Amino acid sequence: MAETTLKLFTYAGVLCCLIWNGFAQQGGSDCIKANAKSCGECIQAGPNCGWCKKTDFLQEGEPTSARCDDLAALKSKGCPLEDIENPRGSKQVLENREVTNRKKGAAEKLRPEAITQIQPQKLVLQLRVGEPQTFSLKFKRAEDYPIDLYYLMDLSYSMKDDLENVKSLGTALMFEMEKITSDFRIGFGSFVEKTVMPYISTTPAKLRNPCTGDQNCTSPFSYKNVLSLTSEGNKFNELVSKQHISGNLDSPEGGFDAIMQVAVCGEQIGWRNVTRLLVFSTDAGFHFAGDGKLGGIVLPNDGKCHLENNVYTMSHYYDYPSIAHLVQKLSENNIQTIFAVTEEFQAVYKELKNLIPKSAVGTLSSNSSNVIQLIIDAYNSLSSEVILENTKLPKGVTISYKSFCKNGVNDTQEDGRKCSNISIGDEVRFEINVTANECPKKEQNETIKIKPLGFTEEVEINLQFICECQCQSEGEPNSPACHEGNGTFECGACRCNEGRIGRLCECSTDEVNSEDMDAYCRRENSTEICSNNGECICGQCVCKKRENTNEVYSGKYCECDNFNCDRSNGLICGGNGICKCRVCECFPNFTGSACDCSLDTTPCMASNGQICNGRGTCECGTCNCTDPKFQGPTCEMCQTCLGVCAEHKDCVQCRAFEKGEKKDTCSQECMHFNMTLVESRDKLPQPGQPDPLSHCKEKDVDDCWFYFTYSVNSNGEANVHVVETPECPSGPDIIPIVAGVVAGIVLIGLALLLIWKLLMIIHDRREFAKFEKEKMNAKWDTGENPIYKSAVTTVVNPKYEGK
């Protein structure tokens, strides 16, 4: 038993090795297909590819690219671990300040740049092709974080009543925002439209006062920065109260020009590196790129600041910005936009919000009386969501995000960039994977940045690409090992100089196809170059590769391969050996040309512990029965032998029931087995026990069935279990039989009478119908009877003359 267990463990180990080797070869196929000529090319083929720099690693006929393979395959081919070049990527955190923890109203007032909401701040990633590098990014909303808010208002005539409410906005909004932050600044700007036809009337009178009647309106303008960001709410009220309504001709306004200038004129507006909010208030739609053609303006917006004396001076020269251009500049300057618009234009600006990240839309009342609550609600909505964005990635680099938000909410792909419902003081985490799918052509380092939309803080990531092996820097130029210095010896192989080829750079490109060189690539008495399995390069055979990378040609003349060995069950070497140069090298316990002959005798072991039941020999794991009468996997069956049941029937009958043919000689002939009586058939031994078992059902001299089992244990002892009560057929019950016969006769008689009666009724009805028919068809003769004589005699008076 112990020996059998040991063998099973041995086979399991061999099977595991085969499976692992199969997976390694499958993974290594990408490395082999890369046909790498150097270590650098090899490690770029895949993250599991390694390069063996051992000098004598290659066999005859193998190309230099055979040094590149899966790590497990290289080890199995005999390359020591220390000679395998397999550089791995890494990450290094350079700046990792902890996120700021402080409460509103704290005695210490930090400068905005001293507040940290994102961690880490700077790191270096060394990237190998196909191997992702992962790092964790933490974000925490700081309490009492400074806010800059710029109120940009439409001053066209339709906003006249709104201006009156905005004039007191400064102090009121300062009071409400103090509940959120102790460091709040507010600014104000206004816009109308481009100062060219057909957007405004250019008549002198309309340029002075574009409004009709006795309305006192200011001259039309594109955009004015009325008040740069300040912490003085009273100053906001003072300057805004001095503003006057203007007018224009068309309904859409030039608000996009104003938004662009607010975004890019950071110095004039006074933006700090804090939370930046832009409130855009209007009751009309907007012009965008292309609409300037109506006024003869065709130059696209340049996205630069053009404020002179706080007035946009190039509205007549540059077209309106496009939405994409606006999104780019708002994102670059970390500005979050709140569109405060009337109910009529809600649908338009909600569509615009979907195109501008970190923006919100609020419904402005007809006179802007609800603007403060609108700003508070929009700010809470914007600040409760964090969305990560990254700068443009270098070619071949991909990035993926996985978010770990509040309440165990996790997301991947595009939703992995954001977390919602974040309150002040909440901490969320993002897992970021950066993968290089190819090396840059110039092999230069690249820098990307990741930041939360609407925030000035960012993570700076320096990408360093692993495109060469360490051993390449240790290469020896013009090395003697490369045929008199015709190449650089690096990583165990020669990298030939221009114009030289060969494994050792021993040939020039002019000598490659010469017939003299081909003679070195032919076997003796053969005309085939490299056995037709390779090409002759520099007098040496370089074996060709097959489509299946697990199939390899080798040998000095490429005469060997590992796939043309004998097969068994459709497998090379039966799956029990390795094919080397078209000959199977079998694993232990296997032999034969296809390793299909197992030396293990376990399959031949009978249940009684004997090999082939002692009736044959075990050859290749199969019993060869020496007695032709026996057959079966362990020579256990004999078709011409008397069956076990019939053979022991008389002895079982005489010992269990004291009857049968051997009743008188039972004690002499039937004592060769042990007998046990059981109550019923269910108590008989069942199949599955270690000893061979036969179930028998036989008839005794009284035509009764008796049941028994016959088995032989490993010691050769026969055991018989017999059901103590035979099953005898019971006699017939006479009364039911007689009653049934009588009842059957009576029923048959009644049935015959009924049938006779039915036939008679049918016959009578037919006769009566026939009589009726003849009666109706009868015809009677109406002539006189010739023998009839009347009883009346008429006498005529002869003398009567009729007078």
pLDDT tens digit string along 80-113? 999 999 999 999 999 998 888 766 655 466 677 7
* 594 & 673 share domain: no
In this prediction, residue 803 carries a pLDDT of 52
My answer on whether 203 and 321 are in the same domain is yes
pLDDT over 60 at 10, yes or no: no
pTM strictly above 0.75: no
Coil/strand/helix, residue 332: helix
pLDDT computed for residue 301 by the predictor: 92
673 found inside a domain? yes
Same domain, yes or no, for 702 and 679? yes
Residue 441 placed within a domain: yes
E strands in 437-586: 446-452, 459-466, 487-490, 493-496, 500-501, 507-508, 534-537, 540-543, 553-554, 560-561, 567-568, 571-572, 577-580, 583-586
Q: How far apart are CA 650 and CA 696, in angstroms?
A: 12
- Residue 780, pLDDT > 70, answer no
pLDDT 10s digits, 176-225: 888 888 888 999 999 988 888 888 877 787 777 777 767 778 888 899 99
Total residues found in the chain within this entry: 803
Give the pLDDT score at 18. 38
pLDDT at 11 over 60: no
Per the structure, the count of domains in the chain is 5
- Kindly report the CATH number assigned to the domain that includes residue 229: 3.40.50.410
By CB neighbour count within 10 A (0-12 exposed, 13-18 middle, 19+ buried), where does 251 fall? exposed
Asked whether the bond before 786 is cis by omega within 30 degrees of 0, the reply is: no
Place of tokens 């063996």: 52
Query: Looking at residues 150-176, what average pLDDT do you find?
Result: 81
The residue among 695, 723, 751 that closes a domain is 723
User: Any idea which of 499-503, 575-579, 665-669, 783-787 has the lowest mean pLDDT?
Assistant: 783-787
Rg of the chain in Å (alpha carbons) = 54
- Cα distances (Å, whole numbers) of residue 641 to 56, 329, 629, 755: 67, 99, 8, 64
- Residue 398 Cα distances to 34, 118, 282, 387, 391, angstroms: 22, 22, 41, 18, 12
Place of tokens 């500005």: 335
452-483 exposure pattern, b = at least 16 Cβ within 10 A, e = fewer: bbbbbbbbbbebbbbbbbebbeebeeebebbb
Q: Which of 437, 466, 495 marks a domain boundary?
A: 466
- The count of other CB atoms within 10 Å of the CB of residue 748 is 10
Per-residue pLDDT band at 236 (split at 50, 70, 90): confident
Q: What is the CATH number of the domain that holds 593?
A: 2.10.25.10
| CA 600 to each of CA 9, 328, 576: distance values in angstroms, whole numbers, following the listed order | 13, 75, 13
Whole-number pLDDT of residue 691: 65
Question: CATH number for the domain including 699?
Answer: 4.10.1240.30
Q: Does the residue 238 lie in any domain?
A: yes
- Do the domain assignments include residue 738? no
Q: Evaluate whether residue 36 is within a structural domain.
A: no
Please tell me whether residues 613 and 657 are part of one structural domain. no
More confident residue, 360 or 780: 360
State whether 225 and 300 are in the same domain.
yes
Whether pLDDT at 299 is above 80: yes
Q: What is the mean pLDDT of residues 737-757?
A: 92
Identify the residue with better confidence: 276 or 672.
276
249 and 338 inside one domain:
yes
**Of 703, 723, 743, which closes a domain?**
723
| Strand blocks (E) in 203-257 | 223-230
Q: pLDDT tens digit string along 248-258?
A: 777 788 899 99
Query: How far apart are alpha carbons 374 and 391 in whole angstroms?
Result: 32
Please give the residue that has the higher pLDDT: either 330 or 156.
Answer: 330
At 355-406, the pLDDT tens digits run: 998 899 988 876 667 788 888 888 888 888 888 989 889 998 999 999 998 8
Report how far residue 443's alpha carbon sits from residue 465's, in angstroms, rounded to the nearest whole number: 7
Task: State whether 265 and 407 are in the same domain.
Answer: no
Q: Is residue 333 domain-shared with residue 316, that is, in the same domain?
A: yes
The Cα–Cα gap between 246 and 320 comes to 20
Taking 90 as the threshold, does the pLDDT of residue 136 lie above it? yes
Say if 394 falls within a structural domain.
yes
- State what percent of residues in the chain have pLDDT above 70: 90
Least confident of 349-363, 575-589, 600-614, 686-700: 686-700
Task: Report strand pairing: 459-466 vs 418-419.
Answer: unpaired
DSSP code of residue 545: B
Say if residue 137 is in the same domain as residue 275: no
Give the contacts of 617 (CB within 8 A, at least 6 positions apart). Answer: 611, 623, 624, 626
427 strand-pairing partners? 140
* Full residue range of the structural domain in which residue 687 is found: 644-723
Average pLDDT over residues 429-457: 88
Q: Is the pLDDT of residue 23 over 50?
A: no
Quick check: is 548 in a domain?
Answer: no
Higher pLDDT, 263 or 691: 263
> Is 376 a member of any domain?
yes
Q: What is the mean pLDDT of residues 701-718?
A: 80
Taking only the tens place, the pLDDT of each residue in 496-542 is 888 787 777 878 777 665 566 677 788 887 878 888 888 887 777 88
461, 578: one domain: no
Same domain? 578 vs 632: no
Q: Find out whether the peptide bond into 120 is cis, omega within 30 degrees of 0.
A: yes
**Spatial distance between the Cα atoms of 226 and 343, rounded to a whole number of angstroms:** 27
Closest alpha carbon to 463 in 440, 430, 490 = 440
Q: Is the pLDDT of residue 12 over 70?
A: no
What mean pLDDT value characterizes the chain? 83
Task: Clarify whether residues 312 and 440 are in a common domain.
Answer: no
Confidence band for 343, pLDDT divided at 50, 70 and 90: confident
CATH classification at residue 407: 2.60.40.1510
Do 650 and 663 contact (CB within 8 A), yes or no? no
Distance CA(690)–CA(687), nearest Å, equals 9
